[in-house]
Amino acid sequence: MWRRGFVLALVAVLAALVMALHSHIPNTIGNLGSLAETFLPWFGIVIPVVLVLALVRRSATALVALVLPVALWLNLFGGLVVSKEATGGDFTVATHNVDADNPDPAGTAKDLAHSGADVVALEELTPAALPTYAKGLAGAYRYHAVEGTVALWSKYPMSGTHAVDIRIGWKRAMRSVISTPHGEVAVYVAHLPSVRVKVHAGFTANQRDSSANALGEAISAEPQHRVVLLGDLNGTMNDRSLDAVTAQMRSTQGAAGDGYGFSWPAAFPMARIDQIMVRGVDPKSSWTLPGTGSDHLPIAARVEL
Protein backbone atom coordinates (compact mmCIF):
# COMPACT_ATOMS: atom_id res chain seq x y z
CA MET A 1 0.00 0.00 0.00
CA TRP A 2 2.85 2.41 0.77
CA ARG A 3 4.99 1.47 -2.21
CA ARG A 4 2.30 2.07 -4.81
CA GLY A 5 1.06 5.32 -6.32
CA PHE A 6 4.13 7.56 -6.10
CA VAL A 7 3.19 9.21 -9.41
CA LEU A 8 -0.31 9.91 -8.13
CA ALA A 9 1.15 11.36 -4.95
CA LEU A 10 3.42 13.60 -7.00
CA VAL A 11 0.44 14.85 -9.04
CA ALA A 12 -1.42 15.70 -5.83
CA VAL A 13 1.57 17.56 -4.42
CA LEU A 14 2.10 19.51 -7.64
CA ALA A 15 -1.56 20.59 -7.69
CA ALA A 16 -1.21 21.72 -4.09
CA LEU A 17 1.93 23.68 -4.89
CA VAL A 18 0.20 25.51 -7.74
CA MET A 19 -2.69 26.49 -5.46
CA ALA A 20 -0.42 27.50 -2.59
CA LEU A 21 2.21 29.35 -4.63
CA HIS A 22 0.20 30.67 -7.60
CA SER A 23 1.24 34.26 -6.84
CA HIS A 24 4.87 33.22 -7.34
CA ILE A 25 4.35 31.77 -10.80
CA PRO A 26 6.02 34.39 -13.03
CA ASN A 27 4.15 36.42 -15.60
CA THR A 28 7.35 37.17 -17.47
CA ILE A 29 6.95 34.02 -19.56
CA GLY A 30 3.68 34.16 -21.48
CA ASN A 31 1.72 35.55 -18.51
CA LEU A 32 1.72 32.02 -17.13
CA GLY A 33 0.85 33.19 -13.62
CA SER A 34 -2.29 35.00 -14.75
CA LEU A 35 -3.33 32.00 -16.85
CA ALA A 36 -3.04 29.69 -13.83
CA GLU A 37 -4.96 32.16 -11.65
CA THR A 38 -7.77 32.46 -14.20
CA PHE A 39 -8.64 28.79 -13.83
CA LEU A 40 -7.28 28.27 -10.30
CA PRO A 41 -10.44 26.67 -8.81
CA TRP A 42 -10.28 23.98 -11.48
CA PHE A 43 -7.01 22.63 -10.10
CA GLY A 44 -9.29 20.99 -7.57
CA ILE A 45 -10.38 18.55 -10.28
CA VAL A 46 -7.15 16.70 -9.48
CA ILE A 47 -8.60 15.71 -6.10
CA PRO A 48 -11.41 13.32 -7.20
CA VAL A 49 -9.28 11.94 -10.04
CA VAL A 50 -6.37 11.09 -7.72
CA LEU A 51 -8.78 9.79 -5.09
CA VAL A 52 -10.40 7.30 -7.46
CA LEU A 53 -7.09 6.14 -8.90
CA ALA A 54 -5.54 5.84 -5.43
CA LEU A 55 -8.41 3.61 -4.31
CA VAL A 56 -8.08 1.48 -7.44
CA ARG A 57 -4.32 1.21 -6.88
CA ARG A 58 -4.81 0.75 -3.12
CA SER A 59 -2.15 3.37 -2.57
CA ALA A 60 -1.91 4.74 0.96
CA THR A 61 0.88 7.06 -0.19
CA ALA A 62 -1.38 8.80 -2.73
CA LEU A 63 -4.23 9.06 -0.22
CA VAL A 64 -2.01 10.72 2.37
CA ALA A 65 -0.57 13.10 -0.24
CA LEU A 66 -4.14 14.03 -1.23
CA VAL A 67 -4.70 15.67 2.16
CA LEU A 68 -2.55 18.63 1.08
CA PRO A 69 -4.52 19.74 -2.05
CA VAL A 70 -7.82 19.07 -0.25
CA ALA A 71 -6.86 21.36 2.64
CA LEU A 72 -5.58 24.08 0.31
CA TRP A 73 -8.59 23.97 -2.01
CA LEU A 74 -11.01 24.19 0.91
CA ASN A 75 -9.06 27.10 2.35
CA LEU A 76 -9.05 29.00 -0.95
CA PHE A 77 -12.43 28.14 -2.42
CA GLY A 78 -14.50 26.30 0.14
CA GLY A 79 -16.16 29.54 1.22
CA LEU A 80 -17.56 30.04 -2.28
CA VAL A 81 -19.52 26.80 -2.06
CA VAL A 82 -21.50 28.10 0.92
CA SER A 83 -24.23 30.63 0.17
CA LYS A 84 -23.53 34.10 1.58
CA GLU A 85 -26.73 35.65 0.27
CA ALA A 86 -28.65 37.88 2.68
CA THR A 87 -32.04 39.52 2.64
CA GLY A 88 -32.46 43.22 2.00
CA GLY A 89 -30.94 45.51 -0.55
CA ASP A 90 -32.39 48.52 -2.30
CA PHE A 91 -30.50 48.69 -5.61
CA THR A 92 -30.29 45.86 -8.14
CA VAL A 93 -27.77 45.91 -10.97
CA ALA A 94 -27.09 43.62 -13.92
CA THR A 95 -24.44 43.40 -16.59
CA HIS A 96 -24.20 41.38 -19.78
CA ASN A 97 -21.71 40.98 -22.60
CA VAL A 98 -24.38 40.59 -25.24
CA ASP A 99 -21.93 39.27 -27.90
CA ALA A 100 -21.46 41.14 -31.16
CA ASP A 101 -22.60 38.00 -33.03
CA ASN A 102 -25.70 37.44 -30.89
CA PRO A 103 -28.32 35.90 -33.22
CA ASP A 104 -31.24 37.09 -31.07
CA PRO A 105 -30.69 40.63 -29.74
CA ALA A 106 -34.44 41.19 -29.40
CA GLY A 107 -34.79 38.13 -27.18
CA THR A 108 -31.77 39.15 -25.14
CA ALA A 109 -33.18 42.64 -24.63
CA LYS A 110 -36.52 41.15 -23.54
CA ASP A 111 -34.82 38.89 -20.99
CA LEU A 112 -32.83 41.79 -19.55
CA ALA A 113 -35.90 44.03 -19.39
CA HIS A 114 -37.57 41.39 -17.21
CA SER A 115 -34.52 40.92 -14.96
CA GLY A 116 -35.84 43.33 -12.34
CA ALA A 117 -32.58 45.28 -12.27
CA ASP A 118 -32.62 49.03 -11.64
CA VAL A 119 -29.70 49.48 -14.02
CA VAL A 120 -28.45 47.23 -16.82
CA ALA A 121 -25.02 47.50 -18.40
CA LEU A 122 -24.27 46.09 -21.84
CA GLU A 123 -20.92 45.31 -23.40
CA GLU A 124 -19.95 44.38 -26.97
CA LEU A 125 -22.85 46.43 -28.30
CA THR A 126 -22.72 46.96 -32.08
CA PRO A 127 -24.21 49.93 -33.97
CA ALA A 128 -26.41 47.53 -35.94
CA ALA A 129 -27.89 45.94 -32.80
CA LEU A 130 -28.23 49.17 -30.79
CA PRO A 131 -31.73 50.10 -32.10
CA THR A 132 -33.00 46.63 -31.17
CA TYR A 133 -31.70 46.87 -27.62
CA ALA A 134 -32.94 50.45 -27.28
CA LYS A 135 -36.43 49.39 -28.32
CA GLY A 136 -36.47 46.27 -26.16
CA LEU A 137 -35.29 48.07 -23.02
CA ALA A 138 -37.21 51.31 -23.43
CA GLY A 139 -40.32 50.08 -21.63
CA ALA A 140 -38.43 49.17 -18.46
CA TYR A 141 -35.77 51.88 -18.45
CA ARG A 142 -36.44 55.54 -18.97
CA TYR A 143 -32.81 56.67 -19.19
CA HIS A 144 -29.86 55.35 -21.10
CA ALA A 145 -26.50 56.35 -22.53
CA VAL A 146 -24.13 54.74 -25.00
CA GLU A 147 -20.36 55.22 -25.26
CA GLY A 148 -18.81 53.24 -28.09
CA THR A 149 -19.52 49.55 -27.52
CA VAL A 150 -20.72 49.86 -23.91
CA ALA A 151 -24.02 51.24 -22.64
CA LEU A 152 -26.07 51.74 -19.51
CA TRP A 153 -29.86 51.65 -19.07
CA SER A 154 -31.36 53.03 -15.86
CA LYS A 155 -34.73 53.48 -14.16
CA TYR A 156 -33.35 56.56 -12.43
CA PRO A 157 -31.90 59.82 -13.80
CA MET A 158 -28.33 59.79 -15.05
CA SER A 159 -25.84 62.65 -14.99
CA GLY A 160 -22.17 63.30 -15.54
CA THR A 161 -22.03 60.57 -18.15
CA HIS A 162 -18.79 60.30 -20.10
CA ALA A 163 -16.43 57.79 -21.66
CA VAL A 164 -13.54 56.49 -19.56
CA ASP A 165 -10.20 56.20 -21.32
CA ILE A 166 -8.80 52.70 -20.79
CA ARG A 167 -6.02 53.18 -23.36
CA ILE A 168 -7.15 50.98 -26.21
CA GLY A 169 -7.93 53.60 -28.83
CA TRP A 170 -11.73 53.36 -28.83
CA LYS A 171 -14.57 53.62 -26.31
CA ARG A 172 -15.11 50.50 -24.21
CA ALA A 173 -15.71 52.05 -20.79
CA MET A 174 -17.99 54.71 -19.36
CA ARG A 175 -19.10 56.33 -16.11
CA SER A 176 -22.41 57.83 -15.02
CA VAL A 177 -23.92 59.02 -11.75
CA ILE A 178 -27.31 57.44 -11.00
CA SER A 179 -29.67 59.47 -8.78
CA THR A 180 -31.54 56.78 -6.84
CA PRO A 181 -34.18 57.35 -4.14
CA HIS A 182 -31.41 56.46 -1.66
CA GLY A 183 -28.82 58.88 -2.99
CA GLU A 184 -26.28 59.07 -5.78
CA VAL A 185 -24.03 56.25 -6.89
CA ALA A 186 -21.34 56.31 -9.56
CA VAL A 187 -21.71 53.41 -11.99
CA TYR A 188 -18.86 52.34 -14.25
CA VAL A 189 -19.25 50.04 -17.22
CA ALA A 190 -16.14 48.47 -18.71
CA HIS A 191 -15.16 45.90 -21.29
CA LEU A 192 -11.45 45.20 -21.00
CA PRO A 193 -9.57 43.82 -24.03
CA SER A 194 -9.90 40.14 -24.78
CA VAL A 195 -7.25 37.60 -23.89
CA ARG A 196 -6.17 34.53 -25.83
CA VAL A 197 -3.97 31.49 -25.24
CA LYS A 198 -1.54 31.05 -28.13
CA VAL A 199 1.15 28.41 -28.59
CA HIS A 200 3.96 30.84 -29.38
CA ALA A 201 2.83 33.84 -27.32
CA GLY A 202 1.28 32.26 -24.24
CA PHE A 203 -1.52 34.12 -22.44
CA THR A 204 -1.85 37.33 -24.47
CA ALA A 205 -3.10 39.62 -21.70
CA ASN A 206 -0.77 42.62 -21.85
CA GLN A 207 -3.30 45.01 -23.43
CA ARG A 208 -5.95 43.92 -20.92
CA ASP A 209 -3.52 44.50 -18.06
CA SER A 210 -2.76 48.03 -19.27
CA SER A 211 -6.47 48.79 -19.54
CA ALA A 212 -7.10 47.40 -16.05
CA ASN A 213 -4.50 49.80 -14.68
CA ALA A 214 -6.18 52.73 -16.45
CA LEU A 215 -9.60 51.68 -15.14
CA GLY A 216 -8.19 51.38 -11.64
CA GLU A 217 -6.80 54.90 -11.86
CA ALA A 218 -10.17 56.29 -12.95
CA ILE A 219 -12.02 54.54 -10.11
CA SER A 220 -9.40 55.66 -7.61
CA ALA A 221 -10.02 59.28 -8.64
CA GLU A 222 -13.82 58.93 -8.45
CA PRO A 223 -15.24 61.62 -6.11
CA GLN A 224 -18.44 59.72 -5.33
CA HIS A 225 -18.29 57.64 -2.15
CA ARG A 226 -20.54 54.90 -3.54
CA VAL A 227 -19.24 53.19 -6.66
CA VAL A 228 -20.43 50.17 -8.66
CA LEU A 229 -18.39 48.61 -11.48
CA LEU A 230 -20.20 46.48 -14.06
CA GLY A 231 -18.64 44.73 -16.99
CA ASP A 232 -16.61 42.11 -18.73
CA LEU A 233 -13.10 42.39 -17.28
CA ASN A 234 -11.79 39.34 -19.14
CA GLY A 235 -10.23 38.19 -15.91
CA THR A 236 -11.10 36.65 -12.55
CA MET A 237 -10.70 37.99 -9.05
CA ASN A 238 -7.69 35.69 -8.57
CA ASP A 239 -5.76 37.27 -11.46
CA ARG A 240 -3.03 39.51 -10.02
CA SER A 241 -3.02 41.64 -13.18
CA LEU A 242 -6.40 43.11 -12.18
CA ASP A 243 -5.06 44.29 -8.81
CA ALA A 244 -5.45 47.96 -9.79
CA VAL A 245 -9.21 47.36 -9.71
CA THR A 246 -9.68 44.47 -7.29
CA ALA A 247 -7.53 46.00 -4.55
CA GLN A 248 -9.98 48.87 -4.07
CA MET A 249 -13.34 47.17 -4.69
CA ARG A 250 -15.30 44.15 -3.43
CA SER A 251 -16.65 41.41 -5.64
CA THR A 252 -20.37 40.93 -5.00
CA GLN A 253 -20.01 37.23 -5.83
CA GLY A 254 -17.26 36.75 -3.28
CA ALA A 255 -19.09 38.78 -0.63
CA ALA A 256 -22.69 37.72 -1.17
CA GLY A 257 -22.86 35.02 -3.82
CA ASP A 258 -24.08 31.45 -3.86
CA GLY A 259 -21.49 29.28 -5.60
CA TYR A 260 -18.86 30.37 -8.09
CA GLY A 261 -21.09 32.32 -10.44
CA PHE A 262 -19.09 31.31 -13.52
CA SER A 263 -20.26 33.29 -16.54
CA TRP A 264 -18.14 32.19 -19.50
CA PRO A 265 -18.45 30.37 -21.82
CA ALA A 266 -22.22 30.20 -21.56
CA ALA A 267 -22.45 26.64 -22.90
CA PHE A 268 -20.19 25.34 -20.09
CA PRO A 269 -19.12 28.18 -17.76
CA MET A 270 -15.56 27.74 -16.53
CA ALA A 271 -14.61 31.19 -15.27
CA ARG A 272 -16.21 34.32 -13.89
CA ILE A 273 -14.75 36.97 -16.17
CA ASP A 274 -17.87 39.15 -15.95
CA GLN A 275 -17.85 41.11 -12.73
CA ILE A 276 -19.95 43.27 -10.44
CA MET A 277 -17.75 45.10 -7.95
CA VAL A 278 -18.60 47.72 -5.37
CA ARG A 279 -17.09 50.32 -3.10
CA GLY A 280 -18.96 52.13 -0.32
CA VAL A 281 -22.07 49.94 -0.58
CA ASP A 282 -23.06 46.67 1.08
CA PRO A 283 -23.53 43.60 -1.18
CA LYS A 284 -26.54 41.48 -0.23
CA SER A 285 -26.78 38.87 -2.98
CA SER A 286 -25.25 37.99 -6.34
CA TRP A 287 -26.34 35.52 -9.01
CA THR A 288 -26.15 34.55 -12.67
CA LEU A 289 -29.16 34.95 -14.94
CA PRO A 290 -30.34 32.38 -17.52
CA GLY A 291 -28.48 32.25 -20.81
CA THR A 292 -29.40 34.38 -23.79
CA GLY A 293 -28.12 34.33 -27.35
CA SER A 294 -24.70 35.47 -26.07
CA ASP A 295 -21.60 33.42 -25.32
CA HIS A 296 -21.63 34.99 -21.82
CA LEU A 297 -24.21 34.60 -19.07
CA PRO A 298 -25.70 37.80 -17.65
CA ILE A 299 -25.00 38.41 -13.96
CA ALA A 300 -26.83 40.46 -11.35
CA ALA A 301 -26.44 41.65 -7.77
CA ARG A 302 -28.49 43.39 -5.12
CA VAL A 303 -26.77 45.91 -2.84
CA GLU A 304 -27.71 48.15 0.05
CA LEU A 305 -27.09 51.82 -0.61
Domain boundaries, the chain: 6-81, 91-304
- For residue 296, the model assigns a pLDDT of 98
CATH of 91-304, one of 3.30.230.10, 3.60.10.10, 3.30.70.260, 3.30.360.10: 3.60.10.10
- For residue 33, the model assigns a pLDDT of 94
pTM of the predicted model as reported, rounded to 2 decimal places: 0.93
- For residue 109, the model assigns a pLDDT of 98
- For residue 154, the model assigns a pLDDT of 98
- For residue 289, the model assigns a pLDDT of 98
* Residues in the chain where the model's pLDDT stays below 70: 199
- Give the closest residue to 274 by CA, choosing from 94, 78, 105: 94
- For residue 203, the model assigns a pLDDT of 86
- Angle at CA of residue 112, ends 129 and 146, nearest 5°: 45
- For residue 126, the model assigns a pLDDT of 98
- For residue 29, the model assigns a pLDDT of 85
- For residue 197, the model assigns a pLDDT of 82
- For residue 82, the model assigns a pLDDT of 87
- For residue 265, the model assigns a pLDDT of 97
